[in-house]
Structure 1
Amino acid sequence: MTSADDSPLPIPDPTRPRAGALAWISRLVAVAALGVVAWALVSAWGGVVSGHPAYLVLLGVTAIGAIATLTVSFVRPARPGRWRVAGRIALVVAGAAWIAITAWLRPYAAVEPALDAMISDAQVTVAESATDIVLTPTAEPGTTGVFFQPGALVDPRAYAAVLRPLVEDGHTVVIAKQPLGIAFFALGAFDAARGAHPELDAWVVGGHSLGGTVAAIQADAADSDATAPATGLMFFASYPAGDISTSLTVPVTSISGSEDGLSTPENIDASRADLPPDTVFTVIEGASHAQFGDYGPQAGDGTPTITNVQARSQISDAAVAFVDAISG
Structure 2
Amino acid sequence: MVKINYKKRWHKFFILGLLFVILVIVAVFIYVNAVTYQPSPQAHTAFQSDKQVLVTEVNDGYKFEPVIGESKEPNIIFYPGGLVEPVSYSPLARELAKAGHRVYIADMPLNLAIFGQNKADSFLREYPEESFVIGGHSLGGVFAARYALEHKENFKGVFFLASYADEGGSIKDTELSVLQITGSNDAVLNKEKWESLKSNLPTNTTYMTIDGGNHGQFGSYGMQANDNKPTISESIQIERTVKAMEDWFSQMNLTQ
Does TM-score exceed 0.5, indicating one fold?
A: yes
Residue 218 of structure 2: aligned partner:
292
Residue 61 of structure 2: aligned partner:
132
8 Å Cα contact 1:255-1:315 kept in structure 2: yes
Higher relative contact order (CA 8 A, sep 6+): 2
Query: Could you tell me how far 1:245 is from its partner in structure 2?
Result: 4.7
Residue 195 of structure 1: aligned partner:
125
Query: Cα deviation per residue 1:264-302 (whole Å; 9 max; x = unaligned)?
Result: 333332222221111111111222211110011222323
8 Å Cα contact 1:245-1:277 kept in structure 2: no
CA separation in 2, counterparts of 1:180 and 1:262?
20
Residue 81 of structure 2: aligned partner:
151
Residue 176 of structure 1: aligned partner:
106
CA separation in 1, counterparts of 2:235 and 2:131?
30
Residue 238 of structure 1: aligned partner:
163
Which portions of structure 1, spanning 4 or more consecutive aligned residues, are displaced by more than 6 angstroms? Answer: 90-93
Q: Identity rate of aligned residues, in percent? A: 31
CA separation in 1, counterparts of 2:46 and 2:121?
26
RMSD: 2.6
CA spacing shift, 1:98–1:113, aligned 2, 3 Å: same
Number of positions where the alignment pairs a residue of Structure 1 with one of Structure 2: 243
Of the two, which has the highest radius of gyration? 1
Q: Which amino acid aligns with 1:105?
A: V
Residue 105 of structure 1: aligned partner:
32
CA separation in 2, counterparts of 1:287 and 1:96?
41
- Please list, as runs of the form range in 1=range in 2, the aligned pairs for 1:1-328 lying within 5 A after superposition: 97-98=24-25, 100-106=27-33, 107-129=36-58, 131-138=60-67, 139-198=69-128, 200-223=129-152, 225=153, 229-242=154-167, 244-325=170-251, 326-328=254-256
> What is the TM-score normalised by the length of structure 2?
0.84
> What is the TM-score normalised by the length of structure 1?
0.66
CA separation in 1, counterparts of 2:31 and 2:161?
23
Structure 1 residues not aligned, in runs of 5+: 1-80
Query: Cα deviation per residue 1:212-250 (whole Å; 9 max; x = unaligned)?
Result: 001101112222x2xxx2101010110012162533221
8 Å Cα contact 2:172-2:199 kept in structure 1: no
CA separation in 1, counterparts of 2:96 and 2:139?
21
CA separation in 2, counterparts of 1:239 and 1:127?
29
